[in-house]
Amino acid sequence: MTGNPLWPHLATIVKIVDETPDVKTFRVVLDDPGARENFRHRPGQVALLSVFGQGEATISISSSPTRRDYLEFSVRRVGRLTGALHQFEEGYKIGLRGPYGNGFPLEELRGRDLLFVGGGIGLAPLRSLINYVLDRRDDFGSVEIVYGARSVADLCFKEELFTVWPKAPGVRVYTTIDRPEYGWDGHVGFVPAYLAELAPSGAGRYALICGPPIMIRLVLQELAGLGFPPERIVTTLELKMKCGIGKCGRCNIGSTMVCTEGPVFNLARLQALPPEY
């Protein structure tokens, strides 16, 4: 059914990476060459993944659109559908539709210094933008990445985090875990506290944050103290979505539909919304 926005494309899983005990990254390729060609996303956008028989889930696209041979989705096992997906093997097929949502404001970010602040699986949407920035390195200023998880095992994208990103020009990566651990000589402590220690200046810089709600709340306070104005603090919301296209009525905050007008908001816009997210 072409032109039917609720009709998923079939996609084949070509690679599965175990990120953490409960997160796997699925690299998929759309079966139909035309669909592959037409699928153009922006970092920060989402797609709906189908496990036929289990339904659909909204998952942010964690790969960068600059890498066009595949799409990647980092999925935490939280329920029935994601549990079933975690049982899948390479070669299995899923359904995929999208991309949906606004994505990060690339035009606005061009030429700017960027501070990424992530917690746990919250690094997934940021990763798409980080790799985009690294693939278009000259278009952006400096990049700092502050990322934390409960434990070493819970850190996502370890290879990029420890090997690829720190080597990229003009990139600094600061990783922390919540509690001390044998063999870890890096920083220990929560992300907001680490951020306070690092104290990056808000002058001219954009902050892009994603993580658990409590982390986001505390990080927002820190950033305000560091001189980041609300317009330059950007975050992504995760609301329950069923359709992704503004019809099922599930993801609204007042008259705003997160699936079509979000999930990326700057703090100024977020503060203008009714407090219902």
Partner 1 sequence: MSVTTLTAGVMSREDLARLLAGPASEGQLTAPVRVAPEVVLFVPVRDPDAITLDYVNSTVPPKEYLFPRAEKILGWRGSGPQPELVLPPEPQPLVLFGVRPCDLRAITVLEPVFGGPYPDLYWRRRRELTTIVGLGCTEPGPYCFCVAWGISPVAAPEADLMLTPLEPPAAGGYLVAVQSAKGEELLRRSGVGLEAAGTEPGVLRERRAAELTARFRRLIDPTGVERAAERLFEHPYWRELARRCLGCGICTFLCPTCHCFNVIDRTAPDGSGGRYRCWDSCLFERFTLQASGHNPRPTRAERLRNRLLHKLSYHRTRYGLEGCTGCGRCVAACPVNIDIAEVVADLKGLMT
Binding site for partner 1 (CB under 8 A): 1, 3-8, 10, 50, 52-56, 78-79, 82, 88-89, 91-93, 95, 213, 238-240, 242-243, 245-250, 252-255, 257, 260, 274-277
> Phi, psi (5° rounding) for residue 232?
-110, 15
Among 36, 172, 187, 242, binds ligand FES (CB under 6 A): 242
Identify which of residues 5 and 105 has a Cβ nearer to partner 1 in the complex.
5
Q: Which does 189 bind (CB under 5 to 8 A by kind): ligand FES, partner 1, none?
A: none
Q: Which does 241 bind (CB under 5 to 8 A by kind): ligand FES, partner 1, none?
A: ligand FES
What is the C-alpha separation between 209 and 216, in angstroms, rounded? 7
171: enclosing H helix or E strand: strand 171-177
Q: Pick out residues in 136-175 that bind ligand FES (CB under 6 A).
A: none
Can you give 27-75 as a three-state secondary structure string? Answer: EEEECCHHHHHHCCCCCCCEEEEEECCCEEEEEEECCCCCCCCCEEEEE
Smallest distance, Å, CB 138 to partner 1? 33
> Reduced to 3 DSSP states, what percent helix, strand and coil does the chain have, rounded to the nearest 5?
30, 30, 40
Identify which of residues 196 and 245 has a Cβ nearer to partner 1 in the complex.
245
Smallest distance, Å, CB 251 to ligand FES? 3
Identify which of residues 211 and 244 has a Cβ nearer to ligand FES in the complex.
244
Give whole-number Cα distances, 194 to 115, 127, 147, 251, in Å. 13, 20, 9, 32
Query: Tokens at residue 90, please?
Result: 């390479």
Smallest distance, Å, CB 101 to ligand FES? 9
Smallest distance, Å, CB 240 to partner 1? 5
Identify which of residues 63 and 82 has a Cβ nearer to partner 1 in the complex.
82
Identity (one letter) of the amino acid at 90? E
Among 76, 77, 187, 250, binds ligand FES (CB under 6 A): 250
Smallest distance, Å, CB 220 to ligand FES? 24
Phi-psi region of 199 (alpha: psi -120 to 50; beta: other; left: phi over 0): left
Identify which of residues 194 and 265 has a Cβ nearer to partner 1 in the complex.
265
Per CB under 6 A, 55 contacts ligand FES: no
Burial 26-41 (b: 16+ CB within 10 A, else e): bbbebeeeebbeebeb
| Residue ranges with strand state E in 85-167 | 93-100, 113-119, 143-149
Per CB under 6 A, 61 contacts ligand FES: no
- Binding footprint of ligand FES on the chain (CB under 6 A): 241-244, 246-251, 257, 259
